[in-house]
Amino acid sequence: MQGSRATLLPVLRSNAMRVLIVEDDPLLASGLSDTLRREGYIVDAVPSAERADAALKVSDIALVILDIGLPGMDGFGWLKKMRAGGGEQSVLVLTARDALADRVHGLRLGADDYLAKPFAPEELLARVAALARRGRAIRSRRIEHGPLVIDLDAKRAMLSGKPLDLPQREHTLLEFLFSNIEAIVSKERISSAIASWDEELSSNAVEVHISRLRAKLEPAGIRIRTVRGLGYLVEAWKDAKP
């Protein structure tokens, strides 16, 4: 059994989620780290809010396990500051404060889950796994294609690090095409996807919108190919580079 785990761990770590533990009790931080590492997570631990700020700047952290009773700035203060600064990491608040008012306060500040001490390791791992699944679902709402990044939830796009300003219909077309990369989509499907229910978009109108979108994307090496008689196809990025 031990040999089997040793064989699997490198595979788990290759796609492992990075977790940051913000806990000033060294024994608890060490125990949490060991528990998570045995499950294949990549774990860092820091004892203060200030050290947590530094860690977020240098590591691609997906989940923060946050103690409230920290020295200096407490966990609630750090959570509020992190969210105000645009931090999107999942946060599991881990604390001895289990009063309803504290739980509600933490969730309102932007915590994703709340676990009171003492806790069973199995429950901690279950909650971390649930947050990992939720995080993957959220990240799947973001499309990256070479220099193009489309945030489906925020309804915005970036090209080569700069905002790609598009009229609403062109943005809807962009989302539709890049949700179907390497698939041929007909003009009829495009029309159905970008027109309102009580509106009919002509074949010529679709061509005009495609042409305008091409003009903005092709300088960055992104190709929308016409497949004669069938429709359009967004080329895979590795094939689209000039």
pLDDT (mean) for 124-134? 85
pLDDT at 198 over 60: no
What pLDDT, on the 0 to 100 scale, is given for residue 7? 28
What pLDDT, on the 0 to 100 scale, is given for residue 10? 32
pTM of the model: 0.55
Q: Which two tokens stand for residue 11?
A: 């595979």
Neighbour tally for 56: CB within 10 Å? 17
Angstrom distance (rounded) from CA 106 to CA 216: 44
pLDDT confidence bin for 137, thresholds 50/70/90:
low
pLDDT confidence bin for 88, thresholds 50/70/90:
confident
Report the mean per-residue pLDDT for the chain.
83
Hey, what domains does the chain have and what are their CATH numbers?
A: 2-139 (3.40.50.2300), 142-240 (1.10.10.10)
Identify residue 93 by its one-letter amino acid code. Answer: V
Higher pLDDT pick, 135 / 114:
114
- The pLDDT tens digits of the residues spanning 36-71 come to 999 888 899 999 999 999 999 877 788 999 999 999
Angstrom distance (rounded) from CA 115 to CA 66: 10
| Rounded (5°) CA angle 179-185-186 | 145
What pLDDT, on the 0 to 100 scale, is given for residue 26? 95
pLDDT confidence bin for 14, thresholds 50/70/90:
very low
Angstrom distance (rounded) from CA 160 to CA 202: 32
- The pLDDT tens digits of the residues spanning 167-186 come to 988 998 999 899 888 788 88
- The pLDDT tens digits of the residues spanning 201-224 come to 788 999 999 999 999 999 999 999
